[in-house]
Amino acid sequence: MLYLIIFAVVAILIFGLGLSWDRGDRRVQQLRERLLLVEEAEQRESRASLTLIKDDLLSEIPALNRWLGQMNRGTALQSWLRQAGSGTRVGKFVLASSGSGLLTALLAMLWLPWYGAGLGLAGALLPYAWMRRRRTKRLAEFQAQFPEAIELLVRASRAGHPPSAALELIGEEMPEPIAGEFRQVFDQQRFGLPLRDCLLNLAQRVPLVDVQFFATSMIIQRESGGNLAEILDKLSHLIRERVKIQREVKTHTAQGRMTMWVLLAMAPLMLVVMLFLNRNLTLPLFHDPLGQGMLIGAAVLQLFGVVLLQRIVKIEV
């Protein structure tokens, strides 16, 4: 068993090094191709036909890229990773999750053979949990910065700047992550993409209701006319009121969330206390097949409780 674990770890390391080397070569080749395209575009008399270079490669490994391309979830997972602000491709993320699950399962089989599959599944979900937390944090930062960005856009519009210049100003003056998203909107528009499509892409990259309101308002104003500064001013006030209500709801549900964590931590803490107080009485839970089944059932019920309690305390505004 020990030799099997060593072989698996070495194989994963060699595969990862080979993937990084192959990725480096491909990145250099892609940069050369893009530089060649830029040089050819600069030589043209008209830049209206300049198109955006969009990288939709799901994996640097051709076979894995084809397999992920045939799946409907591949592109959705790629968008989900970009929403987390990660440049990781889907193929690398899938390999990282598989490697983490395999390594965790192999290590668990040394001490807890009965829990190898369950712990392996938990190890495979670790990259997903980390990326989900990162995505949630990034979207929360974007939502907190969004009203100030709209107010900056209002001031620029009242000063007589066109929408494109105002978008560029947000990308230069605001902090990340909102600056990067608006820089991408400005770059897409500069390279010839219509403003409507740029705003729809922004709403797709940032799945927030406030961003959908903003994109809809900008598109309607551009197509039907109206005072852009006044529309965005009212939208900024609406977003600030929504944020205020969300914070009030979070305050009122604080007790429920605290109760959730107390209930979830009670069973594991009691198990640890019983191990210290009466070790001989508690150890059969880990060695006896019936006790192991009871622990697995308790863990499943705990996970079910996490999902149920999160749905109870989560209120959409």
pLDDT in tens, 87-124: 788 888 888 888 888 888 888 777 766 667 777 787 88
pLDDT average, residue stretch 268-288:
83
The pLDDT tens digits for 193-224 are: 888 888 899 988 888 888 988 888 888 888 88
Q: What is the pLDDT of residues 302-312, one digit of tens each?
A: 888 878 877 77
- Half-sphere exposure for 163 (CA within 13 Å, toward CB): 20
Q: Can the peptide bond before residue 268 be classed as cis, meaning omega within 30 degrees of 0?
A: no
d(Cα 115, Cα 286) in Å, to the nearest integer? 10
Q: Which of 38-42, 172-176, 191-195 has the lowest mean pLDDT?
A: 38-42
For 94, residues 6+ apart whose C-beta sits below 8 A from its C-beta are 59, 64, 68
Nearest Cα to 141, choosing from 184, 172, 200, 181?
181
Residue 46 pLDDT > 70, yes or no?
no
Instruction: With a cut of 70, say whether residue 183 has pLDDT above it.
Output: yes
Distance CA 161, CA 172 (A): 15
Per mean pLDDT, which range of 17-31, 67-81, 167-181, 268-282 is the poorest? 17-31
Q: Which two tokens stand for residue 40?
A: 């050819």
Residues 283, 102 contacting (CB under 8 angstroms): no
Distance between CA atoms of residues 134 and 96, nearest Å: 16
Average pLDDT over residues 136-140: 90
Greatest Cα pair distance, the chain, in angstroms, is: 85
CATH 1.10.1760 for domain 140-242: no
pLDDT, greater one: 110 or 41: 110
How do the residues of the chain divide into helix, strand and coil, expressed in percent and rounded to 5?
A: 85, 0, 15
Q: What does the block give as tokens for 276?
A: 């210290």
The residue-averaged pLDDT of 59-82 equals 76
Mean pLDDT of 45-57: 47
**Exposure of 302 in the CB half-sphere (CA atoms within 13 A):** 14
d(CA 188, CA 30): 20
Q: How many helices, marked H, and strands, marked E, lie in the chain? A: 14, 0
By the 8 A CB rule, do 264 and 305 touch? yes
Confidence check: pLDDT of 12 > 60: no
Please count the other Cβ atoms lying within 10 Å of the Cβ belonging to residue 168.
Answer: 20
Mean pLDDT of the chain: 77
80 against 22, higher pLDDT: 80
| Interval 218-268: pLDDT, tens | 888 888 877 888 888 888 888 888 888 888 888 887 887 888 888 888 888
138 pLDDT band (50/70/90 cuts)?
very high
Q: Given the structure tokens 């490697």, which residue do they identify? A: 99
| pLDDT band with cut points at 50, 70 and 90 for residue 33 | low
Q: How far apart are CA 296 and CA 114, in angstroms?
A: 9
Q: Are 297 and 237 in contact (CB under 8 A)?
A: no
Q: What percent of the chain has pLDDT over 70?
A: 79
Helix (H) or strand (E) holding 172: helix 163-173
Q: Range with the lowest mean pLDDT among 60-74, 167-181, 287-301?
A: 60-74
Tell me: pLDDT of 38 over 50. yes
Q: Contacts by 82-85 with C-beta closer than 8 Å and gap 24+?
A: 82/205, 83/135, 83/138, 83/139, 83/205, 83/206, 83/207, 84/131, 84/132, 84/134, 84/135, 84/138, 85/134, 85/135, 85/138, 85/177, 85/180
* Confidence category of residue 24, pLDDT binned at 50, 70, 90: very low
